[in-house]
Amino acid sequence: MGRNVEEKAEELLAQTGIDSVPVDLECIAGHLGIKIRLKVFEGDLSGVLMRPRSGDPVIAINRSHNKKRQRFSLAHEIAHFQLGHAGELFVDQMVLNRRDVRSSYAIDPQEIEANAFAAALLMPRQFVFDAMVAMFEDGNVQEQTEIIGKLARTFDVSTQAMGYRLINLGLLTSVGDS
């Protein structure tokens, strides 16, 4: 599944003509004919994908969450759409896989796949490799947290999302104090 998701995300980026970061998710949504709505949701609800039998697909994002979380939520909902997950309605409360959470949500294959696709879309592997190489060529990076922080800013994602991404790409063996 892993490699497949990487390739599907790269395919979508290529189709949309995106060749720089931070990745323009609004452009991708537009390309796919998806309407984006910013809403205030109660509680922890982060994003909803509505795919009616007739009419345009709509992604609603919780605008009371911080911008980086909104971006991940949008990428996650785009993933459900693009991966052709079955269903007319997806309601997502938690978009990052937290390793300490053992909920059915965290082991639902579609949710895991959507998170993997979202990460691959927001942090395309080649762009991450290139950014990392460029950083080391600059020669002024020492701390792991500094590397993660800098890359997170470059890709406009949370440091947590970037940390997981670097581990999954085999570029880091651990994050922080673990």
Residues that bind Zn ion (CB under 5 A): 92, 111, 114
Read off the DSSP letter of residue 8. Answer: H
Task: Return the residue matching tokens 């911008």.
Answer: 67
Cβ 63 to Zn ion, closest distance in Å?
A: 18
Interatomic CA distance for residues 77 and 50, integer angstroms: 9
Cβ 158 to Zn ion, closest distance in Å?
A: 17
The alpha carbon of residue 135 and the mean position of all alpha carbons in its chain are separated, in whole angstroms, by 22
Interatomic CA distance for residues 124 and 34, integer angstroms: 21
Q: Which of 90, 136, 82 lies closest to 111, judged by CA? A: 90
User: Closer to Zn ion at the Cβ: 5 or 114?
Assistant: 114
User: Closer to Zn ion at the Cβ: 46 or 154?
Assistant: 46
Cβ 155 to Zn ion, closest distance in Å?
A: 21
User: Closer to Zn ion at the Cβ: 14 or 89?
Assistant: 89
Do residues 23 and 122 lie in contact, with contact meaning Cβ atoms separated by under 8 Å?
yes
Q: Which of 24, 35, 26, 13 lies closest to 117, judged by CA? A: 13
User: Closer to Zn ion at the Cβ: 36 or 172?
Assistant: 36
**Chain residue at closest Cβ approach to Zn ion:** 92
Cβ 31 to Zn ion, closest distance in Å?
A: 20
